[in-house]
Amino acid sequence: MALSPCSVDKARYRGPAHHVYPAILVGVETQRTHHRLCVEHLDEMLTWLDAHLDRVELQQDFTQPVEQKCLACEQPIGFDRAAVFVTAYPLQDERIDFFGVSCTSALCLKSVRKALSL
């Protein structure tokens, strides 16, 4: 039995905790948290992250320009943006880093914060 409950449903579960660290940076303001997740909620979170954010690889080629779209509204992002970072530590796996951007509109930021439980 885990000593701490799952951050999503607050239920205790068997086995080790899996950790996810989401953060949103808007200008100089940073919002971050730490989630302890059971296997079920970790799988849901990783599925959402893979669908909406880009995985950051150590050997990634940063020489090619990439058009960035908002995670929430999928519109191209201009200069005014929020950076979204998530680091996940699944059981017996290496660290997985994700990155994405969001509009700074209240509606888009609210949607991203809700998805990441911030």
Find out whether 48 and 5 touch, Cβ atoms under 8 Å: no
Structural domain contains residue 4: no
| pLDDT at site 2 | 57
pLDDT of residue 11: 84
Confidence at residue 26, expressed as pLDDT on a 0 to 100 scale: 94
Query: Over 90: is that where the pLDDT of 47 sits?
Result: yes
Residue 81 resides in a domain: yes
31 in any annotated domain: yes
Which of 81, 68, 8, 65 shows the shortest CA–CA distance to 38?
8
| Residues of the domain holding 35 | 18-57+68-115
pLDDT digits (tens, 9 = 90+) for 71-100: 899 999 888 899 999 999 987 778 999 999
Residue 3 forms part of a structural domain: no
Query: DSSP string covering 46-83, please?
Result: HHHHHHHSEEE-TT---SS----BBTTT-PBP-SS-EE
What average pLDDT does the chain have? 87
50 Cβ neighbours under 8 A, 6+ residues apart: none
Query: Has residue 7 been placed in a domain?
Result: no
The model's confidence at residue 60, banded by pLDDT at 50, 70 and 90, is low
Number of independent structural domains in the chain: 1
User: Is the pTM above the cut of 0.75?
Assistant: yes
Look at residue 2 and tell me if it is in a domain: no
